[in-house]
Structure 1
Amino acid sequence: MLMTYLYTHFLDQPDFAQQAGLSSAGLRSHIAGRLCPDASYRLDVTLSVRSFVATHDEQRPCRFHLKGHLRWLEQIERLGIADETAARAVFTARYDAARSAFLNGRLGQRLIRAAPNVPDAFDRAHADATWGNFLDGVYGVCTRDGQPETIFLKQAGVMFIEALTAPPAETLTEQDQALLAEAVAMLDLVASDFAPHEVARSSRQRCINDIRARYL
């Protein structure tokens, strides 16, 4: 099941580099230069080969990159981005535009009225951590496409859902339930399904599956 999940949503590093129009060395250089995310999953695979002639075992490392990160590479290549400062500026512009659009939109405004402290969490320290996690491949694990806009929506969804259901919220009014349902539906669209071995400990389980079972 794990390999099916990985090959459905990810590409191994040689294929990822090829589809990005880069050599393997070129992709490694981009990652080392902090221009694009690293692999989201790293596997150490043991290959066992047996025939009537001999048996052979070897270890092979495999690195899987989110398919959606090809879009990021396409953009930085198109813009001629060659250093981390420029790459982060592109990321930040897209992320901040998504934040502004959501928080000023209908659902965002309703969520802010219910949980007014959440927007304050999007401070400089949060921005630094988000950029670092992006480069480390973290959002390839927990979002569907790894794009800055999706990353913001995923973060906002988790923060607002946790705020709406924080103790002592044992029961919710009908109005609060409706708002929570909208937030969960939004998060459901952007959060990844997670690999089978991750689901039980994932934000999907905590903020979507468990919330629906308990409140909705």
Structure 2
Amino acid sequence: MDKNLKYIVENYIEFEEVIREAKISSDKLNELIKNKLVPEASYSIKSDITISSSLNDNHKVIIERKYFHPSILQYIKENAKISNPEKFKTIFKENLLANLKNHAHQKFAYGNVFDENGVINGEKVDQALEEEWNYFCKGVYGICTLNNNENDIIEKEIAIKRILDFIADKSSFTAEERENRLKELNDEFNKATSNFAPYQRELSSRGKYLDKLLRESNLDDLVKK
């Protein structure tokens, strides 16, 4: 099996399996997605199939399979009976904001939405959280976070920004300090961030920043496979 297909099949749930596990109809799942009560599929795989027979005829079929992050089962369980979709959105954004406010490294997130007194800029943070909500609904965070939830979204945002800050300032550290800091950042990044399908890895935040840093520092053994 192709390594990208293998990654997706092993880590995601196909549409038919979702409705079977959740005990709902395909129409109900599509309704939940449309109402933004569960995220869209993270991956879509299209297959061109040729059917042939001993009569020397053939027929071409295109099959599309959609794959969701496993967390969709929990979101279906929690949200299937919500009559007002805005309720889920409100709760989701409130959780994002609470996680941000309580984070020890909050100043790194979203270009720093806190002023020098620790007061949050309401307009800036509202815009950032609205963007995160849209990414979540589109299935983006089902690709790049481990658990596809509010905690991982904030953790990933801050982990990436801390890595970028380290890259900009790494020349000010000794070799030992750089290695220790990089190991710390690697641990933090891995708590919330996925490995990515192989074809995505090089251009992902993990590939562009963390993998590159680890290899440059001769810490190849820490690169997650």
Shorter-chain TM range is: 0.7 to 0.9
Instruction: Tell me, in whole angstroms, the C-alpha distance in 2 between the residues paired with 1:190 and 1:73.
Output: 22
Query: Higher relative contact order by CA 8 Å / sep ≥ 6: 1 or 2?
Result: 1
| Cα pair distance change 1:58/1:41, threshold 3 Å | same
Q: Which residue of 2 aligns with 1:52?
A: 54
Q: Deviations over 1:166-192 (max 9, x none)?
A: 2x6446334454334212211123211
SS in 2 for 1:57: strand
Instruction: Tell me, in whole angstroms, the C-alpha distance in 1 between the residues paired with 2:110 and 2:199.
Output: 33
Q: Which residue of 2 aligns with 1:94?
A: 95
Instruction: Tell me, in whole angstroms, the C-alpha distance in 2 between the residues paired with 1:157 and 1:81.
Output: 33
CA contact (8 A) 2:13 2:70 kept: yes
* One-letter amino acid of the structure 1 residue matched with residue 195 of structure 2: D
Q: Which residue of 2 aligns with 1:147?
A: 149
CA contact (8 A) 1:12 1:62 kept: yes
Instruction: Tell me, in whole angstroms, the C-alpha distance in 2 between the residues paired with 1:19 and 1:177.
Output: 45
Q: Please, what TM-score do these two structures have when normalized by structure 1?
A: 0.83
Q: 1:132 aligns with which of 126, 134, 140?
A: 134
After TM superposition, give the deviation of residue 102 of structure 1 in Å.
Answer: 2.6
* One-letter amino acid of the structure 2 residue matched with residue 25 of structure 1: D
After TM superposition, give the deviation of residue 55 of structure 1 in Å.
Answer: 3.0
Deviates more, 1:32-41 or 1:118-127: 118-127
Q: 1:190 aligns with which of 152, 177, 192?
A: 192
Structure 2 residue runs without a partner (length 5+): 115-123, 220-225
Q: State percent identity of aligned pairs.
A: 20
Q: Deviations over 1:35-71 (max 9, x none)?
A: 1100111122112233424433210111111112222
Instruction: Tell me, in whole angstroms, the C-alpha distance in 2 between the residues paired with 1:139 and 1:198.
Output: 14
Alignment length, in residue pairs?
A: 205
* Correspondence 1:138-177 to 2 at 5 A: 138-166=140-168, 169-170=170-171, 172-173=173-174, 174-175=176-177, 177=179
SS in 2 for 1:123: helix
Consecutive aligned runs of 4 or more in structure 1 exceeding 3 Å deviation: 115-119, 168-171, 173-177
Q: 2:66 aligns with which of 63, 68, 74?
A: 63
Q: Deviations over 1:98-135 (max 9, x none)?
A: 323432xxxx38xx5xx698542872221111000000
Instruction: Tell me, in whole angstroms, the C-alpha distance in 1 between the residues paired with 2:84 and 2:182.
Output: 41
- What RMSD over aligned residues (CA atoms) do the two structures have, in Å? 2.4
1:76 aligns with 2:79: yes
| Cα pair distance change 1:117/1:16, threshold 3 Å | closer
CA contact (8 A) 1:69 1:145 kept: no
| Cα pair distance change 1:186/1:116, threshold 3 Å | closer
Instruction: Tell me, in whole angstroms, the C-alpha distance in 2 between the residues paired with 1:84 and 1:117.
Output: 26
SS in 1 for 2:197: coil
Q: Deviations over 1:127-160 (max 9, x none)?
A: 1110000000001111122111111111111111
Q: Please, what TM-score do these two structures have when normalized by structure 2?
A: 0.80
Structure 1 residue runs without a partner (length 5+): none
| Cα pair distance change 1:55/1:117, threshold 3 Å | closer
* One-letter amino acid of the structure 2 residue matched with residue 129 of structure 1: E
* One-letter amino acid of the structure 2 residue matched with residue 125 of structure 1: Q
Instruction: Tell me, in whole angstroms, the C-alpha distance in 1 between the residues paired with 2:102 and 2:180.
Output: 21
Instruction: Tell me, in whole angstroms, the C-alpha distance in 1 between the residues paired with 2:52 and 2:166.
Output: 57
After TM superposition, give the deviation of residue 205 of structure 1 in Å.
Answer: 0.8
Instruction: Tell me, in whole angstroms, the C-alpha distance in 2 between the residues paired with 1:7 and 1:116.
Output: 32
